[in-house]
Amino acid sequence: MPTQNLAEAAAALAAGTTTSRHLVEACLASINDLEGQGARAFVRVYADQARASADAIDALRQANRAPGPFAGIPISVKDLFDVEGEATPAGSVILAEAPAAAATAPAIQRLLAAGLILIGRTNMTEFAFSGVGLNPHYGTPLSPWDRATGHIPGGSSSGAAVSVADLMALGAVGTDTGGSCRIPAALSGIAGFKPTARRVPLQGALPLAPTLDSVGPLARTAACCATLDAIMGGEPDRILRRAVLPGLRLLLPTNIAFANLDTPTEAALDRAVGRLDDAGVLIERARLAAFDEINEAHAKGGFAAAEAYAWHRDLLASDFARYDPRVASRILAGADMSAADYFALVQARRRIIRRFEADLAPYDALMLPTVPIAPPPIAAFARDEDYRRLNFLLLRNPSAINFLDGCAISLPCHPSGAPPAGLMLAAPAMADARLLSIAIAVETVLQHERLN
């Protein structure tokens, strides 16, 4: 693969030093050559279609008619997005033979209109309901770190993250309801962005919890995520200027977010925070009341289980035996939430969001670990009680930002050779462009940290 990020690929295509067909062939070779990882990361590979699309884009570029600077770059798409003429299984066997989608999801259609090429559909947690990334139906792709042992990729956009980390695609489209872009990005050593939910259309994506669902990119860098986000958000001409680090104010919350850090993650975060401090970033440590209030609001249940149960109720009644048991049990928990409790949760969320936005107003962004632990080995999830405990740890920090209707990005912050760790930057709703400009600047410091 001659390039690893979108800007480099676009520049090489414009200069004529590579072709779309070459990029596609390199991705297909990675899919086929990585000891079965391609088969685990993808549930369907569009080899013939991708080659034909690449040849067409190359011809258009020769005639100066390419639809955009990123035309011809291969990306992957999570298995819960509609693609015209295909079923949308969402990582399940239950929907594998469902009626074909009549239209492609708008977010994906915008990428296709810009000339990006779908290399395949990526594996995921069944129905997107877990932060772990296990899939008993199609296999589990492994985190790129220590594959000999076999560590979880994070979920639910598990195959999306692995497809990017292993250069099977130069970018990926996932969804994020409680961290499903950011968790696998952190555990695979790449970047993952959760936009403000209302910015990118959700139509054509099989829902988990519509109150919390969002559509976001996973890629090698923050700038790559910004590019894909701009296209999916209908802002293809958006220009981001890298934020100036000296004087930037970041809030590091002292409650909840930094609990239960394992040793490698704590070390990676401490080093990254130290480098940012050296770069002139003003880091203030303080309690963030919203985090405590979220836990209190969830006392009688949360949005994810209640809204998932509403969608799955009939399917569970008819096809319960074909669900992943761990997914089914989480969905069934939503049956116990009353309408009054749900309404109270909606009201509490509005109040907590207002408090969060007021408390964060003096700062440029929030900074915290994406997840508190390095990717555990798959063997650590054999017992249901361990699965529940570790799944909660993985979801705890990123899911708070979904509840708060914010935007957030996970950036790799581990030194070279260490277990992957993610640093999450977050901001209130509709502060996406500013957050991405900060992330691009912070990333320069973290990349230096990873190389030293």
Q: How many helices (H) and strands (E) does the chain have?
A: 15, 11
- The full DSSP string for 54-72 is HHHHHHHHHTT--SSTTTT
Structure tokens at 175: 């969804």
Q: Provide the strand spans (E) within 160-214.
A: 171-175, 191-194
CB proximity list for 440: less than 8 A, separation 6 or greater: 221, 222, 223, 226, 240, 242, 243
Structure tokens at 39: 């088969």
| Residue 350, Cβ density class (10 Å: 0-12 exposed, 13-18 middle, ≥19 buried) | exposed
CB proximity list for 337: less than 8 A, separation 6 or greater: 300, 301, 305, 306, 309
User: Side chain identity at 84, as an amino acid letter?
Assistant: E
Please report, in angstroms and rounded to a whole number, the separation of the first and last CA atoms in the chain. Answer: 24
Rg (CA), the chain: 21
Cα–Cα distance, 162 to 177 (Å, whole number): 19
Structure tokens at 223: 């700038």
Contact 163, 192 (CB under 8 A): no
Contact 212, 303 (CB under 8 A): yes
Q: Nearest CA to 290 among 405, 212, 208?
A: 405
What is the set of active-site residues? 78, 156, 180
Cα–Cα distance, 237 to 178 (Å, whole number): 29
**Cis amide linkage into residue 158, ω under 30° from 0:** no
Which residue stretches of 279-302 are H helix?
Answer: 289-297
Cα–Cα distance, 52 to 396 (Å, whole number): 43
The H or E element containing residue 366 is: strand 365-369
Question: What letter would DSSP give residue 252?
Answer: E
Cα–Cα distance, 199 to 188 (Å, whole number): 26
